[in-house]
């Protein structure tokens, strides 16, 4: 399933937040959204997920979600959102409980996503026993369990320290390489965007408009070993964003 954003604009009261966003997210592609604070990245993700509606424009789902998809659009947040009293497998199966699947099928799905996220040995652990990185792996497993058409990832690694973030990026690349998925991935972190994004959409300061879409034509699995080539892309992104980020920073400081 592809997503097509067609001239999406939005205002909250007198504040224009997004202006004329048109964009296609193709199946099996990771599209990163970057831009200065407050430019509307999370708002756009909420529109894509159907949590809110834009003031104008539309978001179309083109084609069918994967066979047996239980939830075509699934979020992953930075704060993991795990239930502390449920084990790892209990947190993952939570996403399936509304769907009235036969018990054996539910168990098979949980086992499969725990294996894909390297969590099988931690199935019985409670969230408080896990590091931040492991908690986010659980959230990723839970999102995968509903076989989403598109994962909506809102700064999923930003609560993690830099080494853990590196490990999780490797995991996401492995996951995608073994079985590709489609994602819209909001991040402030340009290194993350160039490691994970097939295309990177650079938004301007509020109201967010598309300034440029940077394509990275390098297989995800090769990127870890080709950091120098990626640095050129990263510098280009920062050149696009620097002045806007500075202006956004000053604007927030004035509030």
Ligand X SMILES: Nc1ncnc2c1ncn2[C@@H]1O[C@H](COP(=O)(O)OP(=O)(O)OP(=O)(O)O)[C@@H](O)[C@H]1O
In the range 13-72, which residues lie near ligand X by CB under 6 A?
17, 35, 37-43
Neighbours of 225 (CB within 10 A): 8
Stretch 190-209: interaction string toward ligand X, x if CB under 6 A: ----------------x---
Alpha carbons within 13 A on the beta-carbon side of 225: 3
Residue 107 or 211 with smaller CB distance to ligand X: 211
Closest CB 93 distance from ligand X, rounded Å: 31
Q: Three-state SS across 84-131?
A: CCCCHHHHHHHCCHHHCCCHHHHHHHHHHHHHHCCCHHHCCCCHHHCC
Neighbours of 34 (CB within 10 A): 27
Closest CB 69 distance from ligand X, rounded Å: 26
Q: By CB under 6 A, how many residues form the interface with ligand X?
A: 11
Residue 5 or 175 with smaller CB distance to ligand X: 5
Per CB under 6 A, 142 contacts ligand X = no
User: What DSSP character marks residue 138?
Assistant: H
Closest CB 210 distance from ligand X, rounded Å: 13
Residue 71 or 78 with smaller CB distance to ligand X: 78
| Pair 123, 134: CB distance under 8 Å | no
Question: Contact residues for ligand X (CB under 6 A)?
Answer: 12, 17, 35, 37-43, 206
């Amino acid at each position: 399933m592809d997503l097509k954003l067609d001239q999406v604009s939005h205002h909250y009261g007198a504040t224009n937040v997004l202006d004329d966003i048109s964009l296609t997210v193709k199946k099996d592609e990771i599209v990163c959204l970057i831009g200065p604070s407050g430019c509307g990245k999370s708002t756009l993700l909420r529109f894509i997920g159907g949590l809110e509606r834009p003031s104008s424009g539309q978001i179309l789902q083109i084609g069918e979600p994967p066979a047996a998809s239980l939830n075509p659009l699934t979020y992953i947040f930075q704060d993991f959102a795990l239930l502390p009293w449920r084990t790892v497998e209990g947190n993952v199966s939570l996403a399936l409980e509304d769907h009235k699947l036969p018990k054996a099928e539910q168990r098979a799905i949980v086992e499969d996503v725990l294996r894909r996220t390297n969590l099988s040995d931690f199935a019985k652990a409670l969230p408080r026993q896990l590091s931040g990185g492991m908690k986010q792996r659980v959230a990723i497993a839970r999102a995968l369990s509903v076989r989403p058409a598109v994962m909506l990832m809102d700064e999923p690694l930003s609560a993690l320290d830099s080494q853990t973030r590196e490990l999780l990026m490797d995991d996401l690349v492995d996951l995608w390489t073994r079985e590709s998925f489609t994602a819209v991935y909001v991040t402030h972190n340009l290194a993350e965007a160039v490691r994970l994004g097939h295309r990177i959409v650079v938004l301007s300061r509020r109201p967010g408009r598309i300034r440029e879409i940077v394509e990275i034509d390098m297989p995800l699995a090769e990127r870890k070993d080709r950091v120098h080539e990626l640095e050129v892309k990263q510098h280009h992104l920062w050149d696009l964003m620097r002045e806007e980020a500075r202006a956004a920073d000053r604007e927030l400081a004035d509030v």
